[in-house]
Amino acid sequence: MDLINNLSDRLLFAIPKKGRLHEQCITLLRGADINFHRHNRLDIALVQNLPIAIIFLPAADIAKYVGEGNVDLGITGQDMVSESQVEDKIDKILELGFGKCKLQVQAPDKGGPTKVEELVGKRIVTSFEVLAGRYFEELDKKYLSEDERNAGIKTKIQYVSGSVEAACALGLADGIVDLVESGETMRAAGLHPLITILHTQAILIRNKHSSNPSLISKITARIKGVIAAQKYVLLNYNISRANIKEATKITPGRQAPTISPLENGEWVEIQSMVVKEEVASIMDRLEEIGAKDILVFKIDNCRV
Ligand SMILES: Nc1ncnc2c1ncn2[C@@H]1O[C@H](COP(=O)(O)OP(=O)(O)OP(=O)(O)O)[C@@H](O)[C@H]1O
Ligand SMILES: O=P(O)(O)OC[C@H]1O[C@H](OP(=O)(O)OP(=O)(O)O)[C@H](O)[C@@H]1O
């Protein structure tokens, strides 16, 4: 198939071709019924049921491509958007709730600094040279004297593309700036955090001037539905009429709970969406007020 000639009428939607965000992006698109087949090693896949082409790119490049308008829509980390300095060229459509982590300044446990200002004038290694550079430029202004600055002293930021955590052990750096989620990689490298520069998660972005806003709205609504379905479960239980007020305080629902009478007249059935992470404690509280037959249902997809 002539892929390139097939792209002209399609909305171009970039997702990370590998790495931390890749699998979740694929799951999200599948859940949104955006169907495509990626041929072996090809970085472009045509969507079969919508006029969209999925473009597989390094997460680090997606913000730049969307910002420049080479692609219309993309999923990448907020960190990549800030690092690429394209915030004025893109619209952030939606936070996606995965890829959550922090960009932190880190230093060696043994003999390393305990405060970030101790790194001023020293060597920092990072893949985030813009964000790290901006952060330490401010610290330099604050903590270096005018004489020191006039003498050309400043914190040195060196870019590496990966394995940033090895830099201190290799003698290349006094501190690093890198992403931390569980902290396992940091601890394994004998490092500790000094300060958080940025909180990040995966986001859906569009170019400010991208065409086909109605298709973008449709994709956004579908993705929102998948995210909400992952976040909520449906709770169903029976409760005596006397306890309806108390029960609806515990499960108010998104708009309001659905309350249906049971045949015996004294009891009702209540149905309500609840946040998945809170379901166990909500069930405990419902039991305490006498709820029976509490059932939890997974939501496959929804529009809220
Ligand atoms: N440990 C993590 N936990 C959650 N999200 C992360 C983590 N590490 C990175 N991310 C998010 O995923 C994005 C891509 O990071 P990743 O390390 O996968 O990038 P990559 O360098 O393109 O991939 P690779 O390391 O395979 O070359 C980051 O910009 C960040 O938003
Ligand atoms: O706090 P943790 O849960 O240990 O995660 C942090 C690690 O995850 C990312 O790297 P990744 O594993 O994606 O590989 P990379 O070094 O190739 O970017 C990041 O660069 C850290 O190294």
Give the count of domains, the chain. Answer: 3
Ligand 2 centroid distance, CA of 230 (Å) = 24
Domain boundary among 153, 179, 211: 211
Which token pair is 288?
Answer: 């305490």
222 in a structural domain: no
Q: Are residues 123 and 258 in the same domain?
A: no
265 in a structural domain: yes
Query: 286 vs 5, 279, 291, CA distance in Å?
Result: 59, 10, 5
Q: Which domain holds residue 187?
A: 101-200
> pLDDT digits over 186-221, tens only?
999 999 999 999 999 999 999 999 888 999 999 999
Domain boundary among 153, 180, 211: 211
Residues sharing a CB contact under 8 Å with residue 285, sequence separation 6 or more, in sequence order? 250
Mean pLDDT of 231-237: 96
Q: What predicted TM-score, i.e. pTM, was given to this entire model?
A: 0.89
Torsion, Cα 102 67 95 137, to 10 degrees, reads: 30
Q: Are residues 157 and 107 in the same domain?
A: yes
218 in a structural domain: no
Q: Are residues 112 and 90 in the same domain?
A: no
> pLDDT digits over 239-290, tens only?
999 999 999 999 999 899 999 999 988 999 999 999 999 999 999 999 999 9
The CATH code of the domain that includes 259 is 3.30.70.120
Q: Are residues 74 and 206 in the same domain?
A: yes
Q: Are residues 119 and 85 in the same domain?
A: no
Q: Are residues 107 and 153 in the same domain?
A: yes
Q: Are residues 119 and 44 in the same domain?
A: no
Mean pLDDT of 217-232: 94
**Confidence band of 40 (pLDDT split at 50, 70, 90):** confident
Question: What pLDDT sits at residue 2?
Answer: 67
Q: Are residues 116 and 195 in the same domain?
A: yes
> pLDDT digits over 129-168, tens only?
999 999 999 999 999 999 999 999 999 999 999 999 999 9
Which token pair is 104?
Answer: 């932190």
The pair phi, psi for residue 219, each rounded to 5°, is -60, -45
142 in a structural domain: yes
Pairing of β 73-77 and β 11-16: parallel
Average pLDDT of the chain is: 95
Q: Residues lining ligand 2, judged by CB closer than 6 Å?
A: 19-20, 162-163, 165, 178-186
Return the CA Rg of the chain: 25
Q: Are residues 66 and 111 in the same domain?
A: no
Ligand 1 centroid distance, CA of 79 (Å) = 10
% of the chain residues with pLDDT over 90: 91
Nearest of 297, 275, 300, 277 to residue 27 by alpha carbon = 300
Q: Are 70 and 84 within 8 A, CB to CB?
A: no
221 in a structural domain: no
Q: Are residues 134 and 196 in the same domain?
A: yes
> Whole-angstrom Cα distance, residue 116 to residue 123?
12
Task: Identify the nearest ligand to the CA of 162 by its number.
Answer: 2
Q: Are residues 274 and 161 in the same domain?
A: no
Of the CA atoms within 13 Å of residue 108, those in its CB half-sphere come to: 15
Domain boundary among 145, 180, 200: 200
Q: Tell whether the model's pLDDT for residue 48 goes beyond 80.
A: yes
Mean pLDDT of 111-133: 97
Most distant pair of Cα atoms in the chain: their distance: 87
163 in a structural domain: yes
- The residue ranges of DSSP E strands in 142-208, in sequence order, are 156-159, 175-180, 191-200, 202-207
The CATH code of the domain that includes 70 is 3.40.190.10
Q: Tell whether the model's pLDDT for residue 60 goes beyond 90.
A: yes
Cβ 57 under 6 angstroms from ligand 1 = no
- Helices 213-231, 22-31: axis angle to 10 degrees equals 100
Question: What pLDDT sits at residue 162?
Answer: 93
The pair phi, psi for residue 168, each rounded to 5°, is -70, -45
Q: Tell whether the model's pLDDT for residue 107 goes beyond 70.
A: yes
Q: Are residues 116 and 92 in the same domain?
A: no
Ligand 1 centroid distance, CA of 55 (Å) = 18
